[in-house]
């Protein structure tokens, strides 16, 4: 089980929650279960969400494992110049 923190706007889409507990071994499973449990998040996941694991931001490595006790934070996927 990992605790996942959602940024403000995403929390609104998840029905006002800013922290959720999810049983997930990697980012792919995390997104799948988030979409199952909070259907409001699905369009956000489709548009792109980045995952911060202990401060390191992963945008595309969906195979990245989520270590127990890690600090997991969801962020919007950004544009750069």
Partner 1 sequence: MNFDPRYLDRNFTSVGTRPIRPDGVDKVTGRARYGADFNMAGQLVGRVLRSPHAHATIRKIDTSKAEKLAGVKAVITAADLPDLTDGDAAMYDILDNCMARNKALYDGHAVAAVAAVDARTARQALKLIEVDYEVLPHVTDVDEAMKHSAPLINEATFTEGLEEKPVKPSNVTKRSQFGHGDVHQGFGHADFIVERSFKTEQTHQGYIEPHACVASVSSDGTADLWVCTQGHFVYRQHCAQLLGMEASKLRVTSSEIGGGFGGKTHVWAEPVALALSRKAGRPVKLVMTRDEVFRASGPTSATSIDIRIGARKDGTITAAEATLRYSSGPYAGTWAEIGAMTAFACYRLDNVKTVGYEVLVNRPKTAAYRAPSAPMAAFAVESAIDELAKEIGMDAVEFRIRNAAQEGTRSSYGPVYGPIGIGPTLEAVKNHPHMKAPLGKNQGRGMACGFWFNFGGQTCTDLNIGMDGSVSLAVGTVDVGGSRASLSLVAAEELGIAYEQVKAVVADTSSLGYNDMTDGSRGTFSSSMATISAARNAIKVLRERAAQMWDIPVDDVVWEKGHAIAKGEKHGNLGRLSLKEIATASGKTGGPIAGHSELVADGAGVSFATHICDIEVDPETGATRVLRYTVVQDAGKAVHPTYVEGQYQGGAAQGIGWALNEEYIYGKDGRLQNPGFLDYRIPVCSDLPMIDTQILEIPNPNHPYGVRGVGETSIVPPLAAIANAVSNAVGVRMTHIPMSPPRILAALEAEQAG
CA distance 29 to 64: 10
Among 3, 12, 28, 67, binds partner 1 (CB under 8 A): 12
- Looking only at the bridges linking them, the beta strands covering 2-5 and 19-22 are antiparallel
CB of 78 vs partner 1, minimal distance in Å: 6
**Within a 10 A sphere around the Cβ of 46, how many other Cβ atoms?**
10
CB of 77 vs partner 1, minimal distance in Å: 9
Site membership for partner 1, residue 57 (CB under 8 A): yes
- Angle at the Cα of 63 (from 44 to 4), degrees rounded to 5? 50
Among 19, 25, 28, 59, binds partner 1 (CB under 8 A): 59
Site membership for partner 1, residue 45 (CB under 8 A): no
């Amino acid at each position: 089980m990992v605790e996942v923190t959602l940024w403000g706007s995403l929390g609104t889409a998840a029905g006002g929650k800013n922290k959720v507990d999810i049983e997930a071994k990697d980012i792919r499973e995390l997104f799948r279960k988030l979409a199952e449990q909070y259907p409001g998040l699905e369009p956000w996941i489709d548009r792109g969400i980045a995952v911060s694991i202990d401060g390191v931001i992963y945008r595309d490595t969906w195979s990245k494992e989520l270590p127990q006790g890690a600090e997991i934070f969801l962020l919007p996927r950004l544009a750069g110049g």
